[in-house]
Structure 1
Amino acid sequence: MTGDTGTNAGPGSGPVRGRGILEVPGIRLGHADESSPSRLTGLSVVLPPPGSTVGVDVRGGGPATRETDVIAPGTHSYGADAIVLTGGSALGLSAVGGVVDTLAEAGLGFPAPGLSETVVPIVPAAAIYDLGRGDGTVAPPTPAEGALAARAALSEAAVEVRGCLGAGTGARSGFQSLRSGLGSFAIRLPGGVTVAALVAANSLGTIGTPAGGLWLDPLLRSLHLDLPSVHDLPAAPVPDPETAAKNTTIAVVATDARLDPAQVTRMASGAHAGIARAVQPSHTLYDGDTVFGISTGSRTLPSDFGAADRELVSITAAAADALSLAILDAHAAAVPVDAEWRQPSALSEIAPDFTSAFTKL
């Protein structure tokens, strides 16, 4: 089913790299980070439009998360004022405090009962493990950087959606053998609905097969993407205690379709298939794989029950496709650096023809 989102596309439908998650109208994004030989970390703040519904699905064995319970179906269902993807493992979650304070100053949050002019921002978050990347110093994102990223998102200024920035600044994959980053991709369905993903791809697993190709080759072919072949991805090294517990893929999938909390949670759940297709192994004991879902609600589902169910299946399948492509995008957009930075190779150094063609999509 997942490949059909592109194969049967009508005019204007199919995969769209473009502005990634910002292809969903109303979504805002801001980053704060440091990218230097001494420190590689950051965070990204996603602001849903007011009235959006949200959900989350946590699958990895080692998650570092905040306020995921409050957006589960059956809870208050207020939604979320922002969703944060951050570096720094559990230490990086403290940066969310800066996001909360900034949103509260802007008047964004749940109205505090009985307290006029007081709001409580609801900000779920998840973190990747990038501690020590750089010179080995433990320097996770700070509340000040959280505030900076939130202000950037609130400003609605033009912002990059991919590369070694934000939550993906220090990302690596394949037992830390390949440089990664932040990636984003969208899928437009034949009926006009847009589904998109933003990911900080920092997986234990590798995007490359033992033969040196891509696990995602079948998906790329099914979407009729004319790209050069990849043959020379390095084999993943044997994991050791120094590399095996420094991982996690965290993502936001968003759509302009109107979904209720259970449906948007189903979209987030289904999107995990996109991680499993893009990297192997996935969802390991050492990954904290977490996917948030956002429905902005500007497009209603069909009124007929059966047609609405079919559309929901297509949306969920597209979320998996978009997340798979976003993970590949995170690697394609990773920037090579000098040896003094002590970073692994980037995909653009190993497969330049493929990377060049992919980034032009």
Structure 2
Amino acid sequence: MTPGAARRPGWDACSGPVRGRGILEIPGMRLGHAGELTDARLTGITTVLPPPGSTIGVDVRGGGPATRETDVIAPGTHSYGADAIVLTGGSAFGLGAVSGVVDTLAEAGLGFPAPGLADTVIPLVPAAAIYDLGRGDGSLAPPQPDEGTQATRAALSGRTGEVRGSIGAGTGARSGFQTLRGGLGSFAVRLPSGTTVAALVAANSLGTIGTPSGGLWLDPLLRSVGLDLPTVHGLPAAPSPGSGSSAKNTTIAIIATDARLDPAQTTRMASGAHAGISRAVQPSHTLFDGDTVFGIATGAQDLPTNRDAATRELVMISAAAADALSLAILDAHASATPVDGAWGQPPTLSEIAPDFSSEFTAL
């Protein structure tokens, strides 16, 4: 937060947006990545392990989702939760890599006890995929089960994983009708109550983060939260209709909070976060996007006992989820790794707006 900058009503000196460690600002969260960033293959997979006992939710809004086991975490199911949540590249092919995640968790003894089978567990692993097929040498090379295993072992190791850049599920991400490199991004928001809400996103939208004039759709949000950053100019314009632009996209995200929420409230948090996509990217939730947001509530912070106060806190959590996801989408673009021009990839935000990206990533 820029010293002396305006803050949103209700925020004090200890609350507001925090880039920091992103989703790892939520105690107990673990994650790991695998994939490849080469001129031949740009794709990857990210495994996120919520703390035991977390409640889980999901809201799928895009017109072309590639998902796995989202029904089993909907309110009204048995509410076991999830042993991991996976974000992956490779579209429907990439969902096959989740088998490596499941097998690795089962070997570690993590999963739902299998009725009638002693010492057997069934890991529940909801997942969503972005479309990044062919981003490299044009061949079909989605994430594989062994990469799912690698990402999961990294998460299980307890070592702090990276939360942003051209890694994991964000390795091959693009946005704006394939005109700009996306990536993996993460941002947190602290509420005055002490509750933290954080987002992790693979930003791969059909829509663009840039306005027709080349600025950012998120400029009003950045000003409202007191982030005084250099102006962005010259973002690529979206191609005109019928130009042949490839519609191969999706924004997938995880919203986590340390608040104690039930499955319905966790799902509502995920639902509210979709506003963060709409604010950062236009158009969003199109027929060609599979926009999916998972929710995780770890339960470390109780809601107020007073019903009115608890309701207000839930509203603030939902609003913070949208802010965190908007900022995480911008973070994904600012953190993308530039590559050699010979790779034939679009530019990154840091190449177009180096001053902005430098100050944003230094937050």
TM bracket, shorter-chain basis: over 0.9
Shift of 1:243: 3.7
Residue 172 (structure 1) aligns with: 174
CA contact (8 A) 1:5 1:189 kept: no
Shift of 1:112: 0.7
CA contact (8 A) 2:55 2:298 kept: yes
Task: Quote the Cα distance in structure 2 between the aligned partners of 1:38 and 1:190.
Answer: 47
Residue 63 (structure 1) aligns with: 65
Give deviations 1:257-314, integer Å, cap 9, x for gaps. Answer: 0000000000000000000000000000000000000000000000111111110000
Equivalent residues in 2 for 1:305-324, closer than 5 Å: 305-324=307-326
Residue 141 (structure 1) aligns with: 143
Give the letter for the 1:186 counterpart. A
Compared with structure 1, are the counterparts of its residues 200 and 239 closer, same or farther at alpha carbon in structure 2 (3 Å cutoff)?
A: farther
Task: Quote the Cα distance in structure 2 between the aligned partners of 1:238 and 1:39.
Answer: 28
Shift of 1:236: 1.1
Secondary structure of the residue aligned to 2:350 is helix
Give deviations 1:70-125, integer Å, cap 9, x for gaps. Answer: 00000010000000000000000000000000000000000111211100000000
Secondary structure of the residue aligned to 1:56 is strand
Task: Quote the Cα distance in structure 1 between the aligned partners of 2:247 and 2:239.
Answer: 14
Shift of 1:244: 3.7
Compared with structure 1, are the counterparts of its residues 243 and 109 closer, same or farther at alpha carbon in structure 2 (3 Å cutoff)?
A: farther
CA contact (8 A) 2:175 2:206 kept: yes
Compared with structure 1, are the counterparts of its residues 74 and 233 closer, same or farther at alpha carbon in structure 2 (3 Å cutoff)?
A: same
Give the letter for the 2:66 counterpart. A
Task: Quote the Cα distance in structure 1 between the aligned partners of 2:242 and 2:15.
Answer: 44
Task: Quote the Cα distance in structure 2 between the aligned partners of 1:194 and 1:90.
Answer: 33
Secondary structure of the residue aligned to 1:90 is helix
Give deviations 1:221-268, integer Å, cap 9, x for gaps. Answer: 000101011122121113558644310000000000000000000000
Residue 304 (structure 2) aligns with: 302
Shift of 1:159: 1.5
Task: Quote the Cα distance in structure 2 between the aligned partners of 1:5 and 1:83.
Answer: 33
Secondary structure of the residue aligned to 2:288 is coil
Task: Quote the Cα distance in structure 1 between the aligned partners of 2:56 and 2:65.
Answer: 19
Residue 3 (structure 2) aligns with: none
Equivalent residues in 2 for 1:84-123, closer than 5 Å: 84-123=86-125
Runs of 5+ in structure 2 lacking a partner? 1-5
Residue 215 (structure 2) aligns with: 213
Task: Quote the Cα distance in structure 2 between the aligned partners of 1:326 and 1:213.
Answer: 17
Compared with structure 1, are the counterparts of its residues 240 and 153 closer, same or farther at alpha carbon in structure 2 (3 Å cutoff)?
A: farther
Residue 264 (structure 1) aligns with: 266
Compared with structure 1, are the counterparts of its residues 5 and 335 closer, same or farther at alpha carbon in structure 2 (3 Å cutoff)?
A: same
TM-score after normalising by structure 2: 0.97
Give the letter for the 1:62 counterpart. G
Superposition RMSD in Å: 1.2
Residue 335 (structure 1) aligns with: 337
TM-score after normalising by structure 1: 0.97
Task: Quote the Cα distance in structure 1 between the aligned partners of 2:156 and 2:319.
Answer: 31
Task: Quote the Cα distance in structure 2 between the aligned partners of 1:272 and 1:149.
Answer: 26
Equivalent residues in 2 for 1:162-201, closer than 5 Å: 162-201=164-203
Task: Quote the Cα distance in structure 2 between the aligned partners of 1:301 and 1:5.
Answer: 24
Q: Percent identity?
A: 77
Give deviations 1:306-343, integer Å, cap 9, x for gaps. Answer: 11111000000000000000000000001111112110
Give deviations 1:7-27, integer Å, cap 9, x for gaps. Answer: 532132110000000000011
CA contact (8 A) 2:83 2:123 kept: yes
CA contact (8 A) 2:88 2:130 kept: yes
Task: Find 2:277's aligned residue among 246, 267, 275.
Answer: 275
Task: Find 2:294's aligned residue among 292, 298, 312.
Answer: 292
Compared with structure 1, are the counterparts of its residues 47 and 31 closer, same or farther at alpha carbon in structure 2 (3 Å cutoff)?
A: same
Residue 157 (structure 1) aligns with: 159
- Tell whether 2:254 aligns with 1:247: no
Residue 224 (structure 1) aligns with: 226
Task: Quote the Cα distance in structure 1 between the aligned partners of 2:243 and 2:261.
Answer: 42
Task: Quote the Cα distance in structure 1 between the aligned partners of 2:226 and 2:13.
Answer: 15
Secondary structure of the residue aligned to 1:70 is helix
CA contact (8 A) 2:131 2:250 kept: yes
Give the letter for the 1:346 counterpart. T
Task: Quote the Cα distance in structure 2 between the aligned partners of 1:239 and 1:183.
Answer: 29
Task: Find 2:19's aligned residue among 17, 20, 30.
Answer: 17
Task: Quote the Cα distance in structure 1 between the aligned partners of 2:92 and 2:351.
Answer: 32
Shift of 1:145: 0.3
Give the letter for the 2:149 counterpart. A
Query: Which segment is superposed worse, 130-139 or 226-235?
Result: 226-235
Secondary structure of the residue aligned to 1:296 is strand
Task: Quote the Cα distance in structure 1 between the aligned partners of 2:7 and 2:109.
Answer: 39
